[in-house]
Each structure stands twice: as structure tokens, then as C-alpha cells.
């Protein structure tokens, strides 16, 4: 074989010496091949060899290679092959002197674009999109005068384009630099590319104003600049783009002209058919009928996520409009009837969600309208009597009332969301006209009655959500046996009762379809349903908060895809199965049951909170290792008894001494202090710890809630026995105030709270936080509000209703509050979350809990934005106190949950002001709040604080440290990062602990994307910051 190869090489060189083969082409391709590390299909590795070269010297039989008529390589196309290449050297391909087309898109090729790219003189088509190329764009690229199509979208390229003379691309028709990390201003040379037809610079970090001159590009059809940080006013550009049909400027910071009360005072060119201005800061009113001429050919108009206001026009003057999106603005008034009729418009999609629209929706008669979203408004009255031709209908989060009887006359709907309204009554028989129903959400209403069997007769239903209603009666087993397409079933928080009957899916039923089953917090009883083991596709099973009993069957181990299993708050007994899927199960909770025996090895990785409280007979396997023989155990027990007795005697003596001391101190203080404010006591020894003592010299100081203050107080949460309190000394364990619950799944007696041992977690300007463990095993965080902070009882109770039943994986649950008879007795009860806060893990301080990897930091960023999105859009109030110490990390997976939210709703203006001042001291205060005399938290101030947290995750630095970088003049964290990003050196800010991970191009790209989002969030102008939905979507897509 070696001899044959030698002969072939000799033949090749002989042929080359005769001038028959372009040697540089063959050698260049083979050199490029060396850089390919992984070729999953063998497309290149197997075909590129010396044995397959044409007689004219063209390797035409090599996959991806095309030659011209004289044997020169003219095209190299290796798209979508999954190729991996590290630090590939594209400069070797410059030897392909006649190369016209180079396309390597959608692979995993990394490296830098070659500085000799100008040597590709004949190149007309260059596509390197969706790879891992990094560094800057070489200035020489502007010298490719023959280039017609250039796409380097979806890479890790960064830096400014200001040093590149793009006007040298005299033949360019299509230019796509999207989905990179370019920054700086848009170069004016773009406006000199006269032949440009397609320009896409979206999803970068370009700043400044859109340069004038795009109207001079007389061939431009597509202009896409969305997802940058471009600002300035929308002037006459949209009117002067006389040839553009597709214009997307969404996701920037464009504003309306200050001289006009209308968002587009100069109109839009008649050529524009698609216009997307969503996610900007546009304000003012929308156009009226007398401006119809500027929308002559418009087919798609998206103005969502702005600040537009006023009443809606009917749009009957826009004859070709097919898609109209005006959601997430401030429009008010009624919905024009023209929008819902079919005689004037060809509208197929209408989105008016998240505005301030009022009135009723009596009927929908349009025969063209397919998608209608009116969610998150204040619409009222009964449901519409007809829905026309709608296949997607979202009326959720409104004030519709009445029953569902009108659904009999509705059309053939595929997606229906009526959640979070005021609907009552049972579910009617609606089978015939809902045979195409794919998604049905009726959650969060007051619907009642039993679950009708017709729900199992929708052949295409994949998601059914009936949670948070008042349905009663038995569980509908037919949903698990007769619904062939059902993937997600949510029935939590109803009043379903009885056992889930044993079932066996028919042979025709696809048992792997159902992925999510949530029946938590009902009144279901009986054994664990044996049929669940046959639903082998289940990923999430939540049975918490019911009355299930008996042991778990071995068949539950058949569900090998299970990732979430919550059996807590039931009456299960017996051992835990040892065949639960170890590889897939990520979240497991069996607490508050009566399981016994040894915890299986497959569940040992879960924290103790997955098994306790409850399950007193359940033991970890290693517990047996510390058991000793009977004799040794008896001796040890005797010794321990002696130690305990001696300790108790000493403790009693100490407590008596302390009691006498405190008694005399109290008598002495009562002579000089007219109204002592003791809050905590320990009645077994009359040990009083005064709230005044706890807060002395602490007012105005904000500490991290998780930070230990050096003392563990085994105190009860109840007022001290001082003369002004209204309880009797004969019943010291009775709380004289009132305990209110904000979560209907939680209930305990006030006495349990009064006896709870407490540990100080931290202090702030508005009070002190404690960890309290109740006798039932529940662990709570109890926040005591200092005197003068809380509102009056009536106002406090009114605002507290906003916190009822908050349940979200990224928001700490608020369980209730205690209102005592004196001014200083106000307690807020919430979930206790361990192992600690983000601040404990992130900051380089003594006692640091651990070091976070980049994947963990990115997950935390997404988790926090998701939780904040829930508060803003679902609960409709700002957090108001967002900081790293209020981001709690839960369990081994470090699931981020935001805590201490909405306190400004419960506090006086003085308390709120102090809290905001504390946020300023810690570096989270937005500029607009700092300038207000009576500041109140807002959605945009939350976004600013989130931006600071994103920068802390990237840098590992605390925003509250004075002078983050001494070498940069002691700049604050935000100023320092903005300065570095402005210089194109944002990577200088990254946490040094992340450097080992930055060798991965994907990690570096993700960090740049998060940096871009963070910088947008901390914009000094609140109007130019993105809303939380945009931030959440951007972070989730990274």
C-alpha cells in the first residue's frame, strides 16, 4: 500500500511539473482538511484523498468541491455537516485563486478570520454563519470588491466596525453580520453600499443613532437592525425608505420625537409591507383614519412592548393588514368593533394583550381572524357569544364572568386560554366543535362540579390545565386511558377526592405520551395508583398535599424518564422503592409522610429536606455503620444520660441567674423608659431579648439576610411579658395577636409559632430575619418589621392579598403574617431556603459558600429573570428590593428563588425610602429613584437591579464595594463595566475564576450575550431599558 501511495505521489508531482494540475489548489485543500478534528458523516475525511483527482487536476469527486472548466477549484461548500475544527487557518484557502464561493455554515469551526482575506480576490459568495469564529472582523474584508454575498452571522465576533471601510464592498448585495457581539456605532459607510438589497445587523450590541443615508440605498429591500442598543428618535427614515419592503428595528431603544404626540409623525413609505418596532420606547398615540395613506401596502405591523397610549383606531383604513400586534402598551378604552368584524379587514392575527383595555367583547364575527390575544386587560362581562373563525383564542387574565355555556356556539378552536378570570359553574358538553382542540387552560377561575368525561374525548388535546378552581368529585381516570395525545395534565389546587382507580391503558394507547401529571393539593386518597407505572413517558409527577396512603409499588421504577417526583404531605408508609430512576430523577420530595426503613442508594444524592420532616422511621444507610454492640450501646446510653442530666442542671442554674439579672435590669429600665419594646422571650427561663436591644445602632444599616450575626437565639416569636401587653402570665405561650395565612396549603397554630426556636439570619433597616423551626418540622424565615415600618392594619391586610398563593419555582413562597397588638409586633412568614444566597456564593469573602461555574451562573440569571417576569406580568407588582442577598439558592441544583419581594407594598413611605436608600448603598439603586424625594420601586428599577446582578455574575464583584477597580479611579461596578464595554474590552471584566472555562468558545459567546443584556438593563434612562419579558426571553435564548 505504501508503495502504491509513493507511486501516486510521484505521478502527481510529475504531472505538476508538466503544468497539468494546479498544485496550490490540491495542497491548500489538504492543508485545510488537517484542521478538521471531527467529521461525523465522513463527508470530508473519507472523500478528500489523492486517489480521486480528475485528469485535469480537479478534485471534482471530493465532496463539497466544484471546479471551473479548466480544473481550478471554484466552489467549496461544506454546510450543515457538524464539522468540528479548532483554530482553523482559513488563510490557506487564499491559494485557491479562482475560488468564487466559500460556504462553511452551520458547523463548529473556530478560529479567527484571516488577515489576508483580501487575497480572495475572486470571491463572490462567503458564508461562515453559525460557527464559532471569534475576535474582530479584519479591516481587509472591505477590499473584497467582487463579493456579492457576505454572511458571518451566528459567531463570536466582537469589536467595532468603525475602522472598517465597508464602502469598498462595491458589489455587495447581501450583508449579514447578525447574532454576534459587535459594538460601537453603525458605520456610515453602510449607507454607501448602493447595490445592497439585504442588510441584517440584528442581535449585536450596536449603540448610538441609526445613521442617516439608508434612504439613499435605492435597491434595499430588507433592513433588519433588531436586538441592538440603538437609540435616538424615529425621524423621516421610515418614510424615505422607498424600496424597502421588510423593516425590523425591534428590541432597541428608539423613542418618539419630542416635538410630536404621535409615534410616527412623518409616516411610513408605501413600499413597506413588514414593519416591526416592538420592544422600543415609543410613546404617544397611534395614527387615525386620516393618515391611512402611509399604510397603503402594510401587511404586518408589530408595535408591541412600547409605551404607546390613547384609544385604538379601527384600522378599517388599512386594507391589506394581516398581522397587528399592539400588546404590552398602555392603550385604553374599548376594543374597536371593526377589528373583530370580517367585512372590512383581512386581519388574520390580532394581539392586544397587556394593555388597559376595558369594556365587553360581545361577539367575534370575522371570517379571516385566526389568532386573537386579548389577555391581561380589564375586559369584563360574559364571554363572547361567537368566536368567528378563530383557532387560537386567549382571553386570560381579564375580568370575564358568568359560566361557560356560550362555548356551545364557538367555532373550531385549537388553542383556548380562559385562565385567571371570574368564571363559574361546570364545564359544559362541548365535544363536537372542539375536535381539533390542542390546548385548554381554564385555571384560576371559580369553576366547579365534577370533571366531565368529555375531556377525555378530544383526540388532539395535548395540554389540559384546570388547576386553581373548585372542581370536586373523583379523579377522571379516563384522562389517562382515553386521551391518546395528552402530554400535560394540571389539576392541582382543587377539591378532587377519593382514590384514583386502578387502570390499564388499552393496547392502542401510547403510554409514553403523558409527560406531566400534577394532582397536588387536592383531597385524593387511597394507595399510589398502580397504573402510573405503565405511563412510561412521565417526566413530572406531583402528588403533594393529598391523603394518599399505603406503600409505593415497585412499578413506579418503570418510569425511567421521571425527573420530578413530589410525594410530600401525604400518608405513605413502608420503604422507598430502590429502583427509582437514578439517572433521570433530578427533584425528589417524600417529606411529611410515614415512610420507614433505609433510604435507597439511588436516592442518597438528594438533600435531607427531601425526606424530613416526617418519616421518623426513615434512616440513611450509613446510620447502621455507627451502631455498636448491645453492651457498648448500653454503656454509651448511660454515659449520655449522665451528661444530659449534668448539662440540664447547669443550664437551669444559668437560666435562673440570668433571669434574676434580667429582672433587675428590666426594673431598672422601666424607671427610665416609659414604653419598652420587647419582642422575643424564652419563657422557660423568662429570658427577654428586647427588640430595642437587637436593633440598637442598626437603623439604616442593611446586612445580607443570610449573614450570621454571631448569636443563635433560641427564642419564641412572641411578645415579652412586659406590663403593657394584654396576655395573662398564666398562659404565656398564647400569642395575643392574629395569624393570617397567604397560602391555603399551610396551616399551623399560633402556639407553634410562639414556641419555635429561632436563629438570627440577618438585619436590615426595616427589621430582623430569623430562621424558625416549628414542631411539625416546617422551617420558615420570619421577618420582624421594626416599629413604624408597617402600614396600618387595614392597608396592610389589603396589600397582603396580593401575595396569596404565590407559587413559582423561582419565587420564594410567602406563607403568612402575624399582626400583634402592639406597634412592634409585625411578622412576615416565608419559606426558608438553603444553602444560602447568591451573595454567599459569589463574593470573594471570608466564609464563602462555594464557587459558581459559568453554567450555574447562567442558570441563575435565567432563574432570576423568570421569577421577576412572574412578579411583573402575573402578579403585576415590582420586587422593589432585588439584590444578590435576596436571590436564594435552593438545594443541590442551586435553583434561584427571589425573596423579600413586594415589601414596599406593606411598608410606610418612610420604610420604603429607607429600603431604597439601602439599595443605593449596595449599588442596586437606579438613577431615577436616586433623584426622587419620595421614591417608589418600579418595574424599570427592578430591571436596573437585575442588570447589576448580571454584571456581578459576570465579574464576581460586589456592586456595593466602594471603588470596584482602584486602577480605574475607584469606579463603581456599573461605571467600570460600561467603560470597558465602550472600549471594546468587556472581556477584561470577567471573573478570573471563570478563565479556565473561557477556553470554550460557546462559554465566551454566552458571557458576551449576558454582558450585552446587563449593559442594556443598567441604562441610565429608565425609558431605554428593556422590559422584563424581553430580558427573560433574551437570557433564555442564550
H/E stretch holding 14 reads helix 2-17
Confidence at residue 508, expressed as pLDDT on a 0 to 100 scale: 54
- If asked whether residues 1026 and 982 sit together in one domain, one would say yes
pLDDT level of residue 773 (50, 70, 90 thresholds): confident
Each residue's pLDDT tens digit, 144-199: 999 999 999 999 898 999 888 888 999 999 999 999 989 899 999 999 999 999 99
Q: Tell me how many degrees the CA angle 944-946-949 measures, rounded to the nearest 5.
A: 115
Which own/partner contact pairs does 862-866 have at CB distance under 8 Å and 24+ positions apart? Answer: 862/1032, 862/1035, 862/1036, 863/809, 863/810, 863/895, 863/896, 863/897, 864/810, 864/896, 864/898, 864/946, 864/949, 865/946, 865/1028, 865/1031, 865/1032, 865/1035, 865/1036, 866/808, 866/809, 866/810, 866/1032, 866/1036
- If asked whether residues 162 and 55 sit together in one domain, one would say yes
- If asked whether residues 949 and 1032 sit together in one domain, one would say yes
Of 168, 191, 210, the residue at which a domain comes to its end is 168
Q: Rounded mean pLDDT of 799-810?
A: 83
Range of lowest pLDDT (568-572, 729-733, 827-831): 729-733
Most confident of the following: 145-149, 718-722, 746-750: 145-149
Cell of 748: 399551623
Is the model's pLDDT at 846 over the cut of 90? no
Each residue's pLDDT tens digit, 242-256: 889 999 999 888 888
Each residue's pLDDT tens digit, 327-348: 989 999 999 988 888 766 789 9
Is the model's pLDDT at 511 over the cut of 50? yes
pLDDT level of residue 686 (50, 70, 90 thresholds): very low
**CATH number of the structural domain spanning residue 750:** 3.30.200.20
Nearest to 22 by CA among 63, 56, 47: 56
Task: State the Cα–Cα distance between residues 617 and 594, nearest whole angstrom.
Answer: 7
pLDDT level of residue 104 (50, 70, 90 thresholds): very high
Confidence at residue 667, expressed as pLDDT on a 0 to 100 scale: 40
Is the model's pLDDT at 693 over the cut of 60? no
Averaged pLDDT of the chain? 81
- If asked whether residues 481 and 588 sit together in one domain, one would say yes
Helices 1001-1017/939-955 angle, 10° precision: 150
Q: For the chain, give the number of residues.
A: 1038
Is the model's pLDDT at 759 over the cut of 60? yes
For the chain, what is the largest distance between any 2 Cα atoms, rounded to a whole number of angstroms?
Answer: 116
Do residues 481 and 501 touch, judged by C-beta distance below 8 A? no
Task: State the Cα–Cα distance between residues 1028 and 949, nearest whole angstrom.
Answer: 14
Give domain status of residue 430, yes or no.
no
- If asked whether residues 55 and 152 sit together in one domain, one would say yes
Is the model's pLDDT at 319 over the cut of 90? no
Q: Rounded mean pLDDT of 370-382?
A: 95
- If asked whether residues 859 and 824 sit together in one domain, one would say no
Cell of 925: 439603586
**The 3-state secondary structure of 603-624, one letter per residue:** HCCCCHHHCCCCCCEEECHHHH
Nearest to 196 by CA among 226, 166, 237, 225: 166
pLDDT level of residue 793 (50, 70, 90 thresholds): confident
Query: Residue for cell digits 398602555?
Result: 330
Task: State the Cα–Cα distance between residues 434 and 288, nearest whole angstrom.
Answer: 38
Helix (H, G, I), strand (E, B) or coil at 434: helix
Give domain status of residue 922, yes or no.
yes
- The pTM (predicted TM-score) of the whole model is 0.68
CB-side neighbour CA atoms (13 Å) of 876: 12
Query: Residue for cell digits 380589564?
Result: 378
Confidence at residue 517, expressed as pLDDT on a 0 to 100 scale: 93
Q: Rounded mean pLDDT of 601-615?
A: 87
H/E stretch holding 835 reads strand 835-837
pLDDT level of residue 295 (50, 70, 90 thresholds): low
- If asked whether residues 128 and 11 sit together in one domain, one would say yes
Helices 854-869/1001-1017 angle, 10° precision: 30
- If asked whether residues 607 and 754 sit together in one domain, one would say no
- If asked whether residues 110 and 61 sit together in one domain, one would say yes
- If asked whether residues 827 and 911 sit together in one domain, one would say no
Do residues 102 and 123 touch, judged by C-beta distance below 8 A? yes
Q: Rounded mean pLDDT of 63-92?
A: 92
Is the model's pLDDT at 721 over the cut of 50? no
Confidence at residue 729, expressed as pLDDT on a 0 to 100 scale: 30
Give domain status of residue 268, yes or no.
no
Neighbours of 705 (CB within 10 A): 22
Nearest to 767 by CA among 835, 837, 826: 826
What's the burial of 731, exposed, middle or buried (CB within 10 Å: 0-12/13-18/19+)? exposed
890 bridge partner residues:
835, 895
Range of lowest pLDDT (35-44, 927-936, 955-964): 955-964
Each residue's pLDDT tens digit, 427-471: 987 666 788 999 999 998 999 999 998 888 888 999 999 998 999
Task: State the Cα–Cα distance between residues 585 and 566, nearest whole angstrom.
Answer: 11
Give domain status of residue 764, yes or no.
yes
Confidence at residue 113, expressed as pLDDT on a 0 to 100 scale: 94
Task: State the Cα–Cα distance between residues 696 and 105, nearest whole angstrom.
Answer: 65
Range of lowest pLDDT (6-15, 352-361, 743-752, 983-992): 6-15
Q: Rounded mean pLDDT of 837-853?
A: 81
Give domain status of residue 773, yes or no.
yes
Do residues 227 and 203 touch, judged by C-beta distance below 8 A? yes
Is the model's pLDDT at 701 over the cut of 60? no
Range of lowest pLDDT (223-227, 526-530, 592-596): 526-530
Give domain status of residue 744, yes or no.
yes
H/E stretch holding 772 reads strand 767-773
Is the model's pLDDT at 123 over the cut of 90? yes
Give domain status of residue 256, yes or no.
no
508/336: higher pLDDT: 336
Q: Rounded mean pLDDT of 796-823?
A: 83
**CATH number of the structural domain spanning residue 34:** 3.80.10.10
Q: What percent of the chain clears pLDDT 90, i.e. is strictly above it?
A: 40
Q: Tell me how many degrees the CA angle 675-681-685 measures, rounded to the nearest 5.
A: 120
- If asked whether residues 132 and 78 sit together in one domain, one would say yes
Confidence at residue 698, expressed as pLDDT on a 0 to 100 scale: 32
Range of the domain at 802: 678-832
Task: State the Cα–Cα distance between residues 28 and 58, nearest whole angstrom.
Answer: 13
Task: State the Cα–Cα distance between residues 896 and 879, nearest whole angstrom.
Answer: 15
Is the model's pLDDT at 705 over the cut of 50? no
H/E stretch holding 597 reads strand 594-598
Give domain status of residue 235, yes or no.
no
Is the model's pLDDT at 723 over the cut of 70? no
Is the model's pLDDT at 970 over the cut of 90? no
Is the model's pLDDT at 282 over the cut of 60? yes
pLDDT level of residue 631 (50, 70, 90 thresholds): very low
Domain count, the chain: 4
Confidence at residue 622, expressed as pLDDT on a 0 to 100 scale: 67
Q: Rounded mean pLDDT of 1004-1030?
A: 89
Task: State the Cα–Cα distance between residues 103 and 90, nearest whole angstrom.
Answer: 12
**CATH number of the structural domain spanning residue 963:** 1.10.510.10
816 bridge partner residues:
741, 829
- If asked whether residues 693 and 609 sit together in one domain, one would say no
Strands (DSSP E) found in 253-391: 274-276, 283-284, 300-302, 307-311, 323-325, 330-333, 349-351, 356-357, 371-373, 380-381
Most confident of the following: 99-108, 809-818, 867-876: 99-108
Of 168, 192, 225, the residue at which a domain comes to its end is 168
Of 832, 851, 886, the residue at which a domain comes to its end is 832
Each residue's pLDDT tens digit, 483-500: 778 999 999 989 999 999
Do residues 161 and 182 touch, judged by C-beta distance below 8 A? yes
Per DSSP, 673 falls in state -
Amino acid at each position: 500500500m505504501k508503495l502504491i501511495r509513493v507511486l501516486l505521489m510521484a505521478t502527481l508531482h510529475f504531472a505538476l511539473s508538466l503544468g497539468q494540475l494546479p498544485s496550490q489548489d490540491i495542497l491548500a485543500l489538504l492543508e485545510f482538511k488537517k484542521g478538521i478534528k471531527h467529521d461525523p458523516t465522513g463527508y470530508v475525511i473519507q472523500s478528500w484523498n489523492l486517489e480521486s483527482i480528475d485528469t485535469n487536476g480537479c478534485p471534482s469527486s471530493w465532496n463539497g468541491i466544484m471546479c471551473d472548466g479548466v480544473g481550478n477549484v471554484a466552489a467549496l461548500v461544506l454546510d450543515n455537516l457538524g464539522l468540528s475544527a479548532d483554530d482553523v487557518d482559513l488563510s490557506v484557502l487564499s491559494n485557491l485563486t479562482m475560488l468564487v464561493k466559500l460556504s462553511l455554515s452551520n458547523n463548529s469551526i473556530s478560529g479567527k478570520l484571516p488577515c489576508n482575506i483580501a487575497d480572495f480576490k475572486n470571491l463572490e459568495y462567503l458564508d461562515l454563519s453559525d460557527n464559532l469564529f471569534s475576535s474582530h472582523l479584519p479591516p481587509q474584508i472591505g477590499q473584497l470588491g467582487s463579493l456579492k454575498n457576505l454572511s458571518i452571522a451566528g459567531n463570536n465576533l466582537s469589536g467595532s466596525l468603525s475602522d472598517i471601510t465597508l464602502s469598498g464592498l462595491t458589489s455587495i448585495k447581501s450583508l449579514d453580520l447578525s447574532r454576534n457581539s459587535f459594538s460601537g456605532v453603525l458605520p456610515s459607510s453602510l449607507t454607501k453600499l448602493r447595490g445592497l438589497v439585504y442588510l441584517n445587523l440584528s442581535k449585536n450590541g450596536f449603540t448610538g443613532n441609526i445613521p442617516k443615508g439608508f434612504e439613499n440605498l435605492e435597491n434595499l429591500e430588507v433592513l433588519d437592525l433588531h436586538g441592538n442598543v440603538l437609540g435616538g428618535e424615529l425621524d423621516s427614515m421610515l418614510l424615505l425608505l422607498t424600496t424597502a419592503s421588510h423593516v425590523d428595528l425591534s428590541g432597541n431603544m428608539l423613542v418618539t420625537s419630542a416635538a410630536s404626540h404621535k409615534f410616527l409623525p412623518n409616516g411610513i413609505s408605501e413600499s413597506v409591507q413588514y414593519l416591526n418596532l416592538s420592544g422600543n420606547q415609543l410613546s404617544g398615540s397611534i395614527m387615525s383614519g386620516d393618515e391611512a395613506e402611509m399604510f397603503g401596502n402594510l401587511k404586518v405591523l408589530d408595535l408591541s412592548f412600547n409605551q404607546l397610549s390613547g384609544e385604538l383606531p379601527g384600522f378599517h383604513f388599512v386594507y391589506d393588514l394581516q398581522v397587528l400586534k399592539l400588546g404590552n402598551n398602555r392603550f385604553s378604552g374599548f376594543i374597536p368593533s371593526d377589528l373583530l368584524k370580517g367585512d372590512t379587514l383581512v386581519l388574520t392575527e390580532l394581539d392586544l394583550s397587556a394593555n388597559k383595555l376595558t369594556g365587553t367583547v360581545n361577539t367575534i364575527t370575522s371570517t379571516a381572524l385566526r389568532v386573537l390575544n386579548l389577555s391581561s386587560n380589564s375586559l369584563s362581562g360574559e364571554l363572547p357569544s361567537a368566536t368567528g373563525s378563530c383557532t387560537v383564542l386567549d382571553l386570560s387574565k381579564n375580568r370575564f364572568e358568568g359560566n361557560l355555556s356560550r362555548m356551545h356556539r364557538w367555532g373550531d378552536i385549537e388553542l383556548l386560554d380562559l385562565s385567571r378570570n371570574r368564571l363559574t359553574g361546570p364545564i359544559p358538553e362541548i365535544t363536537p366543535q372542539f375536535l381539533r382542540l390542542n390546548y385548554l387552560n381554564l385555571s384560576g377561575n371559580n369553576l366547579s362540579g365534577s370533571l366531565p368525561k368529555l375531556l377525555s374525548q378530544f383526540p388532539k388535546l395535548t395540554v389540559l390545565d384546570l388547576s386553581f378552581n373548585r372542581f370536586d368529585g373523583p379523579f377522571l381516570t379516563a384522562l389517562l386511558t382515553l386521551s391518546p395525545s395528552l402530554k400535560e395534565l394540571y389539576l392541582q389546587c382543587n377539591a378532587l377526592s377519593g382514590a384514583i382507580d386502578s387502570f390499564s391503558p388499552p393496547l392502542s394507547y401510547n403510554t409514553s405520551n403523558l409527560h406531566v401529571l400534577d394532582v397536588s393539593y387536592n383531597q385524593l386518597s387511597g394507595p399510589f395508583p398502580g397504573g402510573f407505572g405503565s405511563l412510561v413517558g412521565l417526566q413530572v409527577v406531583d402528588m403533594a398535599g393529598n391523603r394518599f396512603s399505603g406503600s409505593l409499588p415497585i412499578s413506579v421504577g418503570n418510569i425511567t424518564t421521571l425527573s420530578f417526583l413530589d410525594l410530600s404531605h401525604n400518608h405513605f408508609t413502608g420503604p422507598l422503592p430502590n429502583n427509582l430512576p437514578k439517572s433521570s430523577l433530578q427533584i425528589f420530595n417524600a417529606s411529611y409522610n410515614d415512610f420507614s426503613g433505609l433510604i435507597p442508594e439511588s436516592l442518597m444524592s438528594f438533600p435531607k429536606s427531601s425526606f424530613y420532616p416526617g418519616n421518623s422511621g426513615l434512616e440513611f444507610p450509613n446510620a447502621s455503620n455507627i451502631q455498636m454492640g448491645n453492651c457498648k450501646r448500653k454503656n454509651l446510653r448511660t454515659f449520655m444520660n449522665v451528661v444530659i442530666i449534668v448539662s440540664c442542671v447547669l443550664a437551669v442554674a444559668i437560666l435562673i441567674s440570668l433571669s434574676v439579672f434580667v429582672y433587675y435590669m428590666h426594673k431598672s429600665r422601666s424607671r427610665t423608659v416609659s414604653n419598652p419594646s420587647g419582642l422575643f422571650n424564652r419563657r422557660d427561663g423568662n429570658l427577654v431579648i428586647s427588640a430595642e436591644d437587637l436593633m440598637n445602632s442598626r437603623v439604616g444599616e442593611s446586612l445580607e439576610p443570610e449573614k450570621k450575626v454571631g448569636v443563635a437565639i433560641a427564642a419564641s416569636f412572641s411578645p415579652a411579658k412586659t406590663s403593657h401587653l394584654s396576655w395573662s402570665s398564666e398562659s404565656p405561650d398564647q400569642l395575643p395577636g392574629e395569624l393570617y395565612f397567604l397560602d391555603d396549603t399551610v396551616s399551623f397554630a399560633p402556639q407553634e409559632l410562639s414556641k419555635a426556636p429561632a436563629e438570627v439570619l440577618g438585619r436590615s433597616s426595616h427589621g430582623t430575619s430569623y430562621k424558625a423551626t416549628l414542631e411539625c418540622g416546617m422551617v420558615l424565615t420570619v421577618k420582624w418589621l421594626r416599629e413604624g415600618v408597617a402600614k396600618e392594619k387595614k392597608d396592610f391586610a389589603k396589600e397582603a392579598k396580593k401575595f396569596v398563593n404565590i407559587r413559582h419555582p423561582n419565587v420564594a413562597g410567602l406563607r403568612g403574617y402575624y399582626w400583634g397588638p402592639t406597634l412592634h409586633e409585625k411578622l412576615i412568614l416565608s419559606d426558608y431556603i438553603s444553602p444560602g444566597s447568591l451573595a454567599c456564593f459569589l463574593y470573594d469573602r471570608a466564609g464563602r459558600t462555594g464557587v459558581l461555574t459559568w453554567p450555574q451562573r447562567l442558570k441563575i440569571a435565567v432563574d432570576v429573570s423568570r421569577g421577576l417576569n412572574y412578579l411583573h406580568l402575573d402578579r403585576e407588582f415590582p420586587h422593589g428590593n432585588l439584590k444578590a442577598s435576596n436571590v436564594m439558592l435552593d438545594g443541590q441544583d442551586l435553583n434561584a428563588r427571589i425573596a423579600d419581594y413586594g415589601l414596599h407594598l406593606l411598608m410606610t413611605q418612610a420604610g420604603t425610602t429607607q429600603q431604597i436608600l439601602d439599595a443605593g448603598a449596595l449599588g442596586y439603586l437606579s438613577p431615577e429613584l436616586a433623584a426622587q424625594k419620595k421614591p417608589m420601586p418600579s418595574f424599570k428599577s427592578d430591571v436596573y437591579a437585575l442588570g447589576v446582578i448580571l454584571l456581578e455574575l459576570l465579574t464576581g464583584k460586589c456592586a456595593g464595594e466602594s471603588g470596584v477597580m482602584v486602577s480605574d479611579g475607584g469606579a463603581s461596578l456599573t461605571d467600570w463595566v460600561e467603560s470597558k464595554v465602550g472600549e471594546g474590552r468587556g472581556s477584561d471584566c470577567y471573573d478570573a475564576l471563570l478563565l479556565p472555562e473561557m477556553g470554550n468558545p460557546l462559554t465566551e459567546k454566552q458571557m458576551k450575550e449576558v454582558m450585552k443584556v446587563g449593559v442594556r438593563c443598567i441604562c441610565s434612562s429608565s425609558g431605554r431599558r428593556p422590559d422584563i419579558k424581553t430580558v427573560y426571553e433574551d437570557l433564555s435564548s442564550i
